[in-house]
Amino acid sequence: MAKLALRAVHDDDLGDLLENLGLRSKCIHGKLKCAFCKDIITYDNLHSLFPDSGDIKLVCSKPECVNRLLLRLETKRR
Amino acid sequence: MELVKCIGGLLSGASIGSVLLVYLLLHPEKIEIWSSLLWRLLSSLGSVFKFAHKKYVKYDIQGRVNRFAKELSKNAPYLAEERVRVEWVRSNISRESFLQDGRVILRLRRDDPDDMNFAHGAYLFVSTSLLFELKRYISQSQRQAIDLYVTTKLIEQEKPSVVGHFLDQYLHPELYDTESKTARYFDTYARIDDGGLFYPVFLQELDFLGDKVFGERRDDEIIREVNWLIDFLKQIATRTIGEEGNLDFKQEYCSFAVVIVGKPAKLTPSGDVYVDYIKKHLVPSGFETIYVLSLWENRGVIDSICEALIDSYEKCRTLKQKAVLRYGDQAVDRQQFLAVLRRKGIEIFRPSD
């Protein structure tokens, strides 16, 4: 039975992860934007992260942005 | 005598233990669900058990999503070929490794009063695993409504208290958008599902369609055909008992017929009236799939029909399911029996698990 790995980060590790990716300070100072709607990303509204064209993109928790991420993942999986 | 009783007791204890062990090995998702409950309990005991929340979230998503997928595999193996595994990303991962890995990382929250961790995990799993060969070829609203509908069903079955929050976030905003077709598709899928045709016929046909078009160029013709398919199945699912209508669907990609067995005047144990009809009309037209549908009590007739068609069609799957049937103004829940017949010589049909 094939297993689909759902990669995730728990809040307990989120700070360290952002630090290692060089994003923590930017997140605290409101310098990160959603890849789709361009809203400022904070600890409150961060939904996910994904690599894109050599950069790390972040997605906010707005349903329309989550849906755009899912569309992108479906396209990528093919 | 006491010794014999004692050995007997030990043996029966051991055999119960063995049976339990075999059962759990065959149902790993149940172990995950039980362990998630244990971790949740521990995580509620204070900061000493802070670590337990992470384990709770992982096993809660895995156990419940996999239980749903396993259940569904009986009727819809094309969805349930995969299981989910939550994989925590190392917090010390370097930027370079993250970029090379190329995969999305979902954030799962500690403070999650509405249980949206589960909803987000389930939605991501359904979107990336269900009918992924086909998704590129259908419209965004057709696709989004399928993902929303199946995820809603998953959450309804596994965590009913979360459904409202999920729909509030993902579906209800669509209802207010007059340009959006997603909510309309969602509603139609619900009607098709009420009639018992969503998983065994609609998603099955989309799976066949996906196999046919995968690798080809995108074409609006496919989107139109899926729209016709949706209208066609809605009309069957909402028909009143006794109402006549077209039950054949032969287009460029989809080729199937629905045969409803039930008219008392035509109902014989051998189902000969239906066998004659299929042999005379459907076999020569070369329909790839025939869905034979009846009330549960007529399953013997369906078996006879399938037997009589063995030269041309292979019985690939049968299932018992609940459907809403309309008798005039009255809607009644009935148990139905459905047999899926695939024309011999057509490529492999995915069997149930």
CA A44 to chain centroid: 12
* Residue of chain B with shortest Cα separation from A56: B99
Residue B87 placed within a domain: no
Residue B54 placed within a domain: no
Residue B131 placed within a domain: no
Most distant pair of Cα atoms in chain A: their distance: 45
Q: What is the pLDDT of residues B20-39, one digit of tens each?
A: 777 777 778 888 888 899 99
Residue B342 placed within a domain: yes
Q: Which residue in A45, A71, A48 sits closest to B148, CA to CA?
A: A71
Please tell me the distance from the alpha carbon of residue B306 to that of residue B300, in angstroms, as a whole number: 10
Task: Please answer yes or no on whether B124 and A22 come within 8 Å at the CB atom.
Answer: no
Residue B339 placed within a domain: yes
Please tell me the distance from the alpha carbon of residue B59 to that of residue B44, in angstroms, as a whole number: 16
What residues of chain B, 50 to 89, have a C-beta less than 8 Å from chain A?
Answer: 50-51, 53-54, 57-58, 61, 81-89
- DSSP class per residue in B284-313: HHT-SEEEEEEEGGGHHHHHHHHHHTTTTE
Q: What is the pLDDT of residue B157?
A: 93
Task: Please answer yes or no on whether A6 and B121 come within 8 Å at the CB atom.
Answer: yes
In one-letter notation, the amino acid at residue B143 is R
Domain ranges of chain A: 34-78
Please tell me the distance from the alpha carbon of residue B339 to that of residue B316, in angstroms, as a whole number: 8
pTM over 0.80: yes
Phi, psi angle pair for B88, to nearest 5°: -70, 135
Around B296, how many Cα atoms within 13 Å sit in the side-chain half-sphere? 11
Residue B258 placed within a domain: yes
Q: What is the pLDDT of residue B4?
A: 58
ipTM score here?
0.95
Q: What is the pLDDT of residue B8?
A: 64
- Identify from B50, B92, B106 which residue to disrupt to test chain A contact, counting A C-beta atoms within 10 A and taking the largest count: B106
Chain B residues whose CB is inside 8 A of the A17 CB are 89, 91, 93, 105
Which residues are B313's β-sheet partners? B343
Q: What is the pLDDT of residue B320?
A: 92
Which helix (H) or strand (E) is A78 found in, with range?
Answer: none
CA distances from B273 to A66, B78, B261 (A): 52, 33, 10
CA distances from B328 to B241, B258, B325 (A): 7, 21, 10
Q: What is the pLDDT of residues B201-231, one digit of tens each?
A: 999 999 999 888 877 777 889 999 999 999 9
* Residue of chain B with shortest Cα separation from A13: B91
The answer for B139, left when phi > 0, alpha when psi is -120 to 50, beta otherwise, is beta
Q: Which residue in B308, B219, B216, B229 sits closest to B261, CA to CA?
A: B308
CB B231 within 8 A of CB B237: no
The count of domains in chain B is 1
Residue B281 placed within a domain: yes
**Residue B258 burial by CB count (10 A; 0-12/13-18/19+): exposed, middle or buried?**
buried
Chain B residues whose CB is inside 8 A of the A63 CB are 169-170, 173
Q: What is the pLDDT of residue B138?
A: 93
Please give, rounded to a whole number of angstroms, the shortest distance from the CA of A75 to a CA of chain B. 7
The CATH number given to whatever domain includes residue B262 is 3.30.110.20
CB of A37 within 8 Å of a chain B CB? The answer is: no
Mean pLDDT by 10 residues, chain A (78 residues): 88 94 94 96 95 94 93 73
Q: What is the pLDDT of residue B352?
A: 47
CB B181 within 8 A of CB B265: no
CB of A78 within 8 Å of a chain B CB? The answer is: yes
Q: What is the pLDDT of residue B353?
A: 44
Dihedral of CA atoms B74, B76, B77, B78 in degrees, nearest 10, equals 180
Angle value at C-alpha B123, between B118 and B127, nearest 5 degrees? 155
Q: What is the pLDDT of residue B338?
A: 95
**Structural domain that includes position B304:** 247-353
CB of B229 within 8 Å of a chain A CB? The answer is: no
Which regions of chain B are under pLDDT 50?
351-353
Task: Please answer yes or no on whether B140 and A16 come within 8 Å at the CB atom.
Answer: no
Please give, rounded to a whole number of angstroms, the shortest distance from the CA of A30 to a CA of chain B. 18
